[in-house]
Amino acid sequence: MPLSLETATRLSTDLVGVFKLFAAMKQHAPRYHEQVEPAAYPVLFNLVDGPRRVSALADCIHSDVSTVSRQVTGLAAHGFVAKIPDPADGRAAMVSLSDAGNELVDRMKAGRGQWLQRVLADWDPAEAEQLIERLQQFTRSFEHAKEAGTLFSPPLAPTHTKDNR
């Protein structure tokens, strides 16, 4: 049975509230390295599973190639990533995490885990596991809708007419 519009609207409203809370807390989040901007953290996290081209990184983090390229240049200057030849195309380069980059990602994961452990201190572990499962299910559904091109529908038609402005 599909979700009712009322339930989907409530969920949407609650998600927006969570997103706003995260955005508001972003300025208070700890910096894990004084020379790495928090905006570059997604680049690091998306290299954990292996090297990627800058264009693939940009797609993964929903950013433009020029921004990601600047972030990669900064991360490389501090030794967190390295550019390596693309084995499929020797003319192209891929970006790979260095040992220092892996250590930084591990430190960020541990810090975020400790933070969330404090936030959810009054939760039962089973509740947290259920949230993990539901978030994974939500992510799969979201990605499927994106790939299928059904993420957004046309906007609703205006409810007024020329006579009723």
Q: What is the CATH number of the domain that holds 60?
A: 1.10.10.10
Number of structural domains found in the chain:
1
Residue 52 DSSP symbol: B
Tell me the pTM: 0.77
For 114-151, the pLDDT digits (tens) are 999 999 999 999 999 999 999 999 999 988 988 888 87
Please check whether residue 115 lies inside any domain of the structure.
yes
Please check whether residue 2 lies inside any domain of the structure.
no
Please check whether residue 42 lies inside any domain of the structure.
yes
Q: What is the secondary structure of 101-120 as a DSSP string?
A: HHHHHHHHHHHHHHHHHHHT
Instruction: Give the domain range for residue 29.
Output: 11-119
